[in-house]
């Protein structure tokens, strides 16, 4: 029996995201059991930026449900995250959770490679904003193996699964969870699937999430995107180098410079 953890970000009872998550889990196979955790029912506090969680053998000092949730994630075989689009981005609880990234990243060895699919729900076509890109980034940052992620439309609760093709797409996502990951789509970064690009110079594009670069070259009929070498931002070794190494170095630097920095800060009391 495989354990699937369904993380539901909506506060709505039987929300579109929850219904689609249940269809995805059903399509993952008879050998799967779904446990739902509603993020909005947990006590999840804001990150204090204290970096205590970086110290060996220490945990985040905030007394909330972060480690309860982490344990659920560690013991799951696969994870489904479902979040609604609010004000063009994912519902705030997902950001509160992803802001605890430094504490979570200390457990990257436990979470690394765990399969995950992401369901985003939105009410209006064209108003989905940066929802899916942000959710994808959150999942990759904590080291999960993002197998599929899709946007589902439907403003009214229950409407999302009724839309044309929704059941089929939920089924495909269920198959992907413990199967083959989908490919990046048109307009998505080939590395992290973000749809958000910067154009710092003419004919140059940079993925806002993972830093993947592309040269835009005029072809015979259309512009060709010629991708540079990936920065590997979401590779395990690079995540570890940042969340364990670089940040710990900054904490050490702070210890040696704390008097100097306190003097600067005191001027702004």
Ligand X SMILES: Cc1cc2nc3c(=O)[nH]c(=O)nc-3n(C[C@H](O)[C@H](O)[C@H](O)COP(=O)(O)O)c2cc1C
Which residues, at least 6 apart from 120, have a Cβ–Cβ distance to it below 8 Å?
Answer: 17, 82, 83, 84, 85, 90, 128, 131, 132, 135, 149, 150, 151, 152
In the complex with ligand X, which residue's Cβ is closer, 6 or 129? 129
Q: Shortest Cβ distance from residue 153 to ligand X (Å)?
A: 7
Position 92 contacts ligand X (CB under 6 A): no
Residue of 121, 133, 149, 212 interacting with ligand X (CB under 6 A): 121
Which residues, at least 6 apart from 169, have a Cβ–Cβ distance to it below 8 Å?
Answer: 150, 152
Burial of 101 from C-beta contacts in 10 A (0-12 / 13-18 / 19+): middle
Position 17 contacts ligand X (CB under 6 A): yes
Which residues, at least 6 apart from 192, have a Cβ–Cβ distance to it below 8 Å?
Answer: 136, 137, 140, 207, 209, 210, 212, 233, 234
Closest CA to 185 of 145, 132, 138: 132
Interface with ligand X by CB under 6 A: which range of 36-44, 70-78, 121-129, 184-192? Answer: 121-129
Q: Shortest Cβ distance from residue 11 to ligand X (Å)?
A: 7
Position 134 contacts ligand X (CB under 6 A): no
Position 157 contacts ligand X (CB under 6 A): yes
Which residues, at least 6 apart from 154, have a Cβ–Cβ distance to it below 8 Å?
Answer: 16, 121, 123, 160, 161, 162, 163, 166
Position 6 contacts ligand X (CB under 6 A): no
In the complex with ligand X, which residue's Cβ is closer, 154 or 174? 154
In the complex with ligand X, which residue's Cβ is closer, 5 or 205? 5
Position 13 contacts ligand X (CB under 6 A): no
Position 124 contacts ligand X (CB under 6 A): yes
Residue of 40, 50, 92, 155 interacting with ligand X (CB under 6 A): 155
Closest CA to 111 of 144, 158, 151: 144
Interface with ligand X by CB under 6 A: which range of 124-132, 162-170, 183-191, 253-261? Answer: 124-132
In the complex with ligand X, which residue's Cβ is closer, 16 or 136? 16
Distance of CA 123 to the CA centre of its chain: 21
In the complex with ligand X, which residue's Cβ is closer, 84 or 174? 84
DSSP letter assigned to residue 221? S
Residues contributing to the site for ligand X (CB under 6 A): 10, 12, 15-17, 84-88, 121-124, 127-129, 154-155, 157, 160
């Amino acid at each position: 029996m495989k354990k699937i953890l369904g993380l539901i970000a909506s506060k709505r009872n039987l929300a579109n995201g929850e219904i689609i998550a249940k269809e995805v889990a059903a399509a993952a196979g008879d050998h799967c059991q779904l446990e739902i955790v509603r993020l909005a029912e947990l006590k999840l506090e804001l990150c204090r930026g204290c970096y205590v969680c970086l110290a060996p053998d220490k945990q985040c000092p905030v007394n909330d449900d972060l480690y309860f949730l982490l344990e659920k994630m560690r013991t799951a075989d696969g994870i489904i995250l479902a979040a609604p689009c609010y004000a063009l981005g994912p519902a705030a609880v997902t950001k509160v959770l992803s802001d605890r990234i430094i504490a979570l990243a200390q457990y990257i060895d436990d979470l690394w490679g765990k399969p995950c699919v992401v369901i985003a729900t939105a009410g209006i076509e064209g108003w989905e904003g940066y929802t899916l890109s942000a959710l994808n980034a959150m999942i990759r940052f904590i080291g999960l193996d993002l197998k599929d992620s899709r946007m589902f439309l439907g403003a009214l609760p229950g409407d999302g699964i009724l839309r044309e093709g929704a059941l089929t797409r939920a089924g495909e996502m269920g198959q992907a969870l413990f199967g083959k990951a989908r490919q990046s789509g048109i307009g998505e970064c080939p590395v992290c699937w973000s749809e958000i690009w910067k154009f710092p110079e003419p004919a140059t594009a940079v993925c806002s999430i993972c830093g993947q670069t592309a040269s835009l070259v005029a072809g015979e009929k259309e512009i060709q995107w010629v991708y540079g070498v990936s920065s590997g931002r979401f590779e395990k070794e690079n995540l570890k180098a940042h969340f364990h190494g670089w940040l710990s170095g900054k904490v050490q630097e702070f210890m040696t410079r704390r008097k100097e920095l306190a003097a600067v800060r005191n001027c702004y009391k």
